[in-house]
Amino acid sequence: MALDQDTYDQLIDTITRFVTERLRPLEGQVAETDEIPDDLIEEMKELGLFGLSIPEEFGGLGLNMTEEIGIAIAMGHTSPAMRSTFGTNIGIGSQGLVMAGTDEQKAKWLPKIASGEIITSFALTEPSAGSDAASVKTKADYDEAKGVYRLNGSKRYITNADKADLFTVMARTGGEGARGVTAFLVPRDLPGLSVGQPERKMGQQGAHVCDVNFDDVEVPAENRLGAEGEGFKVAMRVLDRGRLHISGVCVGAAERLIEDMVGYAGEREQFGKPLSDFQMIQAQIADSKAECMAARALVEQTAKKRDAGENITMDCAATKLIASEMVGRVADRAVQVYGGAGYIADYGVERFYRDVRLFRIYEGTSEIQRSIIAREVMKAGG
């Protein structure tokens, strides 16, 4: 482990209390205002949450994947928007830099990312390039005389874009397909870069997504991340890791929903006895618990394989598919157990029902995960 066991146990205990005592009481407020309070963000920075996965030499905690999954599960017990506040800093917004950055790039950016002074964002999706990520149309033309790449194009549904100071941008420097895509580190303050208004969404209020537009943005050549044509490879490595993290959040959300179901079923009476005495209610809870336990075991197993240096492309796809589909079923059962109350905003179950729906879409839809699994299985079979 990156941390000794006692230190890690203390960290988990601290974050669990933070979730219970500080975050959960504010879930309704965040959903209503669509904003995370500034004081909460500062507390997250003080806890080191913005640097969980950043190497210690750059000011982060340097957690391995198994340790990070434990944090993700703990954070899953509150509104997903809370975790999203620092999620891009420790995931898709920083890991391309950690994996493929030069020593100079890392020294320049990672310490400020780890402290939360810089918020990062990952700009891959476009109006015509979602699941088909290799078809990005944003162009990056090299101006040899000035030593810059000129970026032109638009990105869509970019998480934390309205707060981001640094974007990891995938743009086309070559021909069609994956081999023509290159990654760039693009500061927000470069002339020609603009960010649209946050989109109105079904759920996860407090976590914003926006369009990002590039109009002749001059990006210094030293801000290229890796070699030309390696951007798609970088993106896929980042997404493998991100899918595993999100799977941990799904498990945590399911555990929270099961706790809520059990609590409500024990208190609510019908026909003179608590709901928990009815076998069909017990079946809803039992199925949810069994599926959640199975997903958690798969998440933890895959994290250990990643820490051991194994190829986990198929494992990450399978883990995200299982975990994200599982939490959707658990949320649906929770609404059913609550009955009419589950459809009313006061109880929060309907909010989670909407919040967890996104897990089956971002960082690769369930359909994309199935395609990856099938491809890897057939490849292994010759």
Catalytic residue among 68, 126, 291, 363: 363
Q: Residues 336-346, buried b or exposed e (16+ Cβ, 10 A)?
A: ebbeeebeeee
Q: In angstroms, what CA-CA distances link 68 with 2, 124, 304, 318?
A: 10, 24, 11, 19
Rounded CA gap, 191 and 148, in Å?
13
CA distance 117 to 115: 5
Cross-strand pairs, 274: 269
The distance from CA 174 to its chain's CA centroid, rounded to whole angstroms, is 29
- Give the C-alpha separation, 207 to 330, whole Å: 22
HEC-encoded secondary structure of 151-171: EEEEEEEEECCCCCCEEEEEE
325 is catalytic: no
Listed residue (243, 229, 245, 298) closest to 69, CA to CA: 245
The alpha helices in the chain, defined as continuous H runs, are 5-18, 27-33, 38-46, 65-75, 80-90, 95-100, 103-115, 231-267, 279-307, 313-338, 349-355, 366-380
Give catalytic residues, as residue numbers.
363
